[in-house]
Amino acid sequence: MCTLFYYTRPVFSLERIMNRSEYISDEQLPELVVPPRVGWKVNRSEIEQGPVFSAGREDNSESFYLSNRTFEAIDKYLSYKLLALILKKIKENPNRPITILDVGGGVLSECVRGILRHPHLKGRVKCINIDLFAQPMEKAQLAAEGIDPEALTVLNADFLEQEIPPNSADIAISYQVLDNFDPSKIQAFLAKVAATLAPNGEAYLNENWYLTRSAIMGGWAFFPMPFAPSPGFNQHWLQQIANEHNVYIASAFGETRLDGTTHIMGSGTGLVYMGKTDLNGRTPNPSDFTLAFPEIHEAIKSYR
Report domain extents, the chain: 4-65, 71-301
Of the given ranges (139-143, 164-168, 225-229), which has the lowest mean pLDDT?
Answer: 225-229
What is the arithmetic mean of pLDDT over 32-58? 76
What is the arithmetic mean of pLDDT over 82-93? 96
User: Does 8 score more than 60 pLDDT?
Assistant: no
Are 100 and 128 a contacting pair, CB within 8 Å?
Answer: yes
Phi, psi angle pair for 250, to nearest 5°? -160, 165
pTM of the model: 0.86
**Which distant-in-sequence residues (6+ apart) come within 8 Å of 276 by Cβ?**
194, 197, 198, 199, 200, 201, 202, 245, 246, 247, 248, 283, 284
User: Does 73 score more than 50 pLDDT?
Assistant: yes
| Better-predicted residue by pLDDT, 9 or 183 | 183
Nearest-angstrom CA–CA distance, 44 and 65 = 10
Nearest-angstrom CA–CA distance, 40 and 178 = 19
Distances (CA, A) of 106 to 111, 141, 199: 8, 17, 27
User: Does 291 score more than 80 pLDDT?
Assistant: yes
**Beta-bridge partner residues of 98:** 125
Measured distance between the N- and C-terminal CA atoms of the chain, rounded to whole angstroms: 22
Q: Show the DSSP H helices in the chain as ranges.
A: 71-77, 81-92, 110-117, 139-144, 183-196, 237-245, 295-301
User: Does 5 score more than 80 pLDDT?
Assistant: no
Nearest-angstrom CA–CA distance, 106 and 14 = 17
Assigned superfamily of 71-301: Vaccinia Virus protein VP39 (3.40.50.150)
**Beta-bridge partner residues of 129:** 102, 154
| Better-predicted residue by pLDDT, 49 or 55 | 55
Are 214 and 39 a contacting pair, CB within 8 Å?
Answer: no
**Beta-bridge partner residues of 55:** 42, 64
